[in-house]
Amino acid sequence: MRPTPVRKLILALVSLTSSVYALAADPAPPTEQVIVPGVTRRDVRLPRFPSNDFEVGAFVGTYSTQNFGSSTVGGLRLGYHITEDFFAEAVVAQTQVSDTNYRQILPGGIFANELENLSYYNLSVGYNVLPGEVFFGNKRAWPFSLYVIGGVGSTSFNQQRRSTFNFGSGLRVFFNDSISVQIDARDHIFSLDLLGKNQTTQNLEFTIGLTAAF
């Protein structure tokens, strides 16, 4: 008797069900690892690379005291680079101011002595606005950064100590990873009472100096 299509379908389902049960009852053995590594784990101490975030330097230049002319200024700076863009800087400097021109008009001049020391310190924050390279000739290029800077401090002059605001801009050229030259222009703003009234003064400073990073 020839099997009908229905009977063929039932036989196929029974055969498929038997195969599934057989596979479930006899799972394939787990695959073993072919190569077992024989390397012992050890602790590795990473080297410490210098970050060069700090820098110290000295500078010299000219300081123009309002109403009293220009004189040579010198000082020290200590900087810390917070990020690639922002940095903080502390500066202490000193110059001498003369009242020679006033002594020709006023007997005894304005100061007790013809030369008076002017010293200041400040703490400023700078921002590198334009990093790049400066070229010297056809084969030499040095990294540089153009920055703006501003901060607060104190100025001591003719037995008066005044709060001071400073702002300006500068250019830093790097000879290598540690040494750089820094050119700076700033305006120091503070009030003085020397000519019979309290007056806000603008005192321009232009300096150049070397800094070493560590």
Q: What is the CATH number of the domain that holds 76?
A: 2.40.160.20
Which of 7-16, 80-89, 98-107 comes out lowest in average pLDDT? 7-16
- Report the 10 Å Cβ neighbour count for 185: 14
Residue 71 belongs to a domain: yes
Over 60: is that where the pLDDT of 28 sits?
no
User: To the nearest whole number, what is the mean pLDDT of the chain?
Assistant: 85
Query: Does residue 187 lie within any of the structural domains?
Result: yes
CA 8, CA 163: separation in Å to the nearest integer?
A: 104
DSSP states along 8-41: HHHHHHHHHHHHHHHHHHSPPPPPPPS----PPP
pLDDT tens for 181-191 read: 999 999 999 99
Give the global pTM.
Answer: 0.74
Residue 168 included in any domain: yes
Residue 73 domain-assigned (yes or no): yes
Q: Is the pLDDT of residue 174 over 60?
A: yes
Is residue 98, in this structure, part of any structural domain at all? yes
110-154 pLDDT per residue, tens: 888 889 999 999 999 999 998 787 777 777 888 889 999 999 999
Percentage of the chain lying above the pLDDT 90 cut: 50
Looking at residue 156, its pLDDT comes to 96
Maximal C-alpha separation, the chain: 146
Q: How far is it, in rounded angstroms, from Cα 61 to Cα 164?
A: 19
**E runs forming strands in 137-197:** 140-157, 160-174, 179-193
CA 5 to chain centre: 86
Q: Check pLDDT > 60 for residue 168.
A: yes
**What's the whole-number mean pLDDT along residues 64-83?**
94
Does residue 126 fall inside a structural domain?
Answer: yes
- 30: in domain: no
Domains identified in the chain, total number: 1
Q: Which structural domain range is residue 64 located in? A: 54-213
User: Taking the C-alpha atoms of 59, 61, 65 and 71 in order, what is their torsion angle to the nearest 10 degrees?
Assistant: 120
Within a domain: 26: no
pLDDT at residue 84 in the model: 87
